[in-house]
Structure 1
Amino acid sequence: MRYRRLGRTGLQVAEIGFGGIPIQRISGEEAAAVINRALELGINFFDTARAYTDSEEKLGAVLRKRRGDVIIATKSMARTREKMAADIRRSLEVMGLEYIDLYQMHNVKDRESLQQVLGAGGALAALREAKKEGLVRHIGVTSHVKETLLDLMKVEDIETVQFPFNPVETNGVQEVLDLAGRTDTGVIVMKPLAGGGFRQAGLALRYILAHPVSVVIPGMDTVEQVEQNAAVGSGPLDLSPAEKKALEEEKAGLGATFCRRCEYCQPCPVGIDIPTVFLLDGYYRRYDLKGWAIQRYNAMKVKPGACKECGACEEKCPYNLPIRTMLKDAVSRLG
């Protein structure tokens, strides 16, 4: 496994890190096997969040036993000093840690939330205090919005930025990378496979790592995924003409309006598993697995027909997707 410097934090992180969203879907025992295999293969950067149900708990159960070998990042949607301080304490308690290497302000997506976290009594104030107390060693931010990232990188306390980047999501990325280089800000890439949209994961990861990023964090919930992704961290990064063509074909198949499975739209008030509907529709449309997709769709406990058109999912979507319209479109095939 190759390692890179995480900006001015000075931390040496594996090129391939571990995204902690998917382990919510598996048991504690299964999660432990996946995490331990990642450690065996040299992965040392693990990212989770307060919002990822039991992800912190599952990661902490394994990683606290290997504390000296790992770099642990988590994050909170808290916007005020009081709520962020409470979330930091809760993360430490749940994970069984004395300190967290990187604590991030989660999904700062607009001018209002930016001003709130940076203002008097905002979340950044709590992170500064936690850093002084030794509870947090470094401070970062995650966002899906280029303009917000550019503003945040001008704040001295913020040492890392985390944002989506993959072969189909490139808008504004170069500008962010250029400023990160000038400010020596660590770059963490999330959604590298566009929420599972890219089936040839190795090609997409190699494409990203050819850029000046610090670490890429695909979500993983099987040992096989860990092994496949970790192999990229020790293999060649240059893509052959044939591989570039294959990546372009996958990119064209995805289009622009698609679900990245970030799961920010969840929970649905009536219980619709929105990301799974779109995942199954993707298998139906892009991978010619129509029968399998329909069978899985029919087994869902709550189908999109139960939608009350409340729009809560669209308000929470960082990509501003027309989710209600997309659900109806998916049902026209799967239903």
Structure 2
Amino acid sequence: MMPDLPTRRFGRTELPIPLLSLGGMRFQQSWTDLPASEITSDSQNNLQATLQRATQLGLHHIETARHYGSSERQLGWAFPTTPDPTRILQSKVPPREDPDAFEAELALSFERLGCQRLDLLAIHGINLPEHLEQTLRPGGCMEVVRRWQADGRIGHVGFSTHGPTDVIVASCNSGAFDYMNVHWYYIRQDNSPALDAAQRQDMGVFIISPTDKGGHLHTPSQRLLELCDPVHPIVFNDLFCLRDPRVHTISVGAARPSDLDLHLEAVGLLDHADALIAPVHARLRQAAMETLGEAWLNSWRTGLPTWQDTPGDINLPVLLWLHNLLEAWDLESYARARYRLLGSGGHWFAGSNADALDAGVSIAELDVVLHASPWRQQIPDILRSLKTRLAGEAQMRLSSV
């Protein structure tokens, strides 16, 4: 038996949470909540083997969601055959305008998981101000949660988010939540103010999907592999996240037992994180400077309108960020997936891609909203290049709720 993973105090929950958490997004059979009869033995055996190995290695925190397809059902079947007296179980349920609908989904999560208690419940997807209002208003979803807490069925309540930083900070500042699930990793550090807000509230911080949303690091480009050498990009990104004292745990979105290996390697190297991160960061920065130029890197965000204020809802900040990732580090599969999600991701990934440029949106219209950008002349050609390189069939978010 290997020693358990190191733990950190998960904010005011006081739970000792392992540095690595087993995320339930990738090792279920389907993103549809399949009937029990359609779950295959191969799929269930893989999930069982992944859960068992994670438990043996000390990943005692298991995190899933009501709308992760068959995840809750399959985990509910697996838990009795992989007992863990120290397990910290978390699921997530989206806010609803009707608190009765929210409570019905909460009850279904318990039924699927076969549990009597959730140690952690997250309000899933506080991405817009109205989601926070639905949760916290008198008679809203939080009143349901407090009742279940009083009954001993829920331990601590948090929230998950793909929303803008100001909404995340407002959610933290409300004081209503004990922890948050948030996106923050090497290629995307814009949510740092949210981590600061959580720290001020003594909230636990769980980093969502650092491997997949952190740049498709499970299938890294050759250029990224070379720039991160001698460590794997997954190890580099894990070290970057875990060396930050504001972070308590990161999700391992394993699809199979072997997917745990590189994350375990990162934990083993954590005492040497600064020495390993510094040269890789320097090489990544130098590659960006060589391909994009210092002037661009220092000012590309300047004067960009929000997607709401841009013709065709074109999300210029996201698109230019994807341009940077493509040019500097060849993150093509990641950029393609993100590009195609724009326009179909709803409040989970807001705004649209550049497909409407030169069709429904003219250069003249775009130029009007770019008047404060020092790159107003260059941006249209960048958008055209992205459109040529990345456009294709729209990609739907795996869970649209």
Name the TM tier (shorter chain): 0.7 to 0.9
CA distance in structure 2 between the partners assigned to 1:63 and 1:236 by the alignment: 30
Partner of 2:377 in structure 1? none
Partner of 1:208 in structure 2? 241
Q: How does 1:39-54 map to 2 (within 5 A)?
A: 39-54=55-70
CA distance in structure 1 between the partners assigned to 2:240 and 2:95 by the alignment: 33
Question: Shift in Å at residue 316 of structure 1?
Answer: 4.0
CA distance in structure 2 between the partners assigned to 1:72 and 1:327 by the alignment: 42
For structure 1, which runs of at least 5 residues remain unmatched after alignment? 257-277, 290-296, 298-303
| Matched residue count | 291
Question: Shift in Å at residue 244 of structure 1?
Answer: 3.5
Q: Per-residue displacement from partner, 1:142-201 (whole Å, max 9, x unpaired)?
A: 11332222222233441011100110111131x222232222111111121252623410
Aligned residues: percent identity? Answer: 21
TM-score (norm 1): 0.75
Question: Shift in Å at residue 77 of structure 1?
Answer: 1.4
**Cα distance change, pair 193–324 in 1 and its aligned pair in 2 (3 A):** farther
- TM-align CA RMSD: 3.5
Tell me which amino acid in the other structure corresponds to 1:163.
V
Find 1:2's aligned residue among 3, 6, 12: 6
Contact 1:207 1:237 in 2 (8 A): no
**Cα distance change, pair 141–324 in 1 and its aligned pair in 2 (3 A):** farther
Question: Shift in Å at residue 288 of structure 1?
Answer: 9.3
CA distance in structure 1 between the partners assigned to 2:209 and 2:283 by the alignment: 19
**Cα distance change, pair 327–317 in 1 and its aligned pair in 2 (3 A):** farther
Q: Per-residue displacement from partner, 1:77-129 (whole Å, max 9, x unpaired)?
A: 13232122111111111011011111111111111221121112321111111
Tell me which amino acid in the other structure corresponds to 2:114.
G
CA distance in structure 2 between the partners assigned to 1:83 and 1:328 by the alignment: 43
Contact 1:203 1:247 in 2 (8 A): no
Secondary structure at 2:45 match in 1: helix
Find 1:134's aligned residue among 152, 156, 161: 152
TM-score (norm 2): 0.64
1:226 matched to 2:242? The reply is no
CA distance in structure 2 between the partners assigned to 1:322 and 1:249 by the alignment: 30
Find 1:236's aligned residue among 263, 270, 282: 270
Q: Which has the larger radius of gyration?
A: 2
Contact 1:166 1:193 in 2 (8 A): no
Partner of 1:78 in structure 2? 95
Q: How does 1:64-213 map to 2 (within 5 A)?
A: 64=80, 65-79=82-96, 80-144=98-162, 145-173=164-192, 175-195=193-213, 197=215, 198=217, 199=220, 200-212=233-245, 213=247
Q: Per-residue displacement from partner, 1:205-240 (whole Å, max 9, x unpaired)?
A: 010011121111131112111122123233324436
For structure 2, which runs of at least 5 residues remain unmatched after alignment? 31-42, 221-232, 298-321, 357-385, 393-401
Question: Shift in Å at residue 324 of structure 1?
Answer: 5.5
**Cα distance change, pair 248–171 in 1 and its aligned pair in 2 (3 A):** farther
CA distance in structure 1 between the partners assigned to 2:161 and 2:250 by the alignment: 15
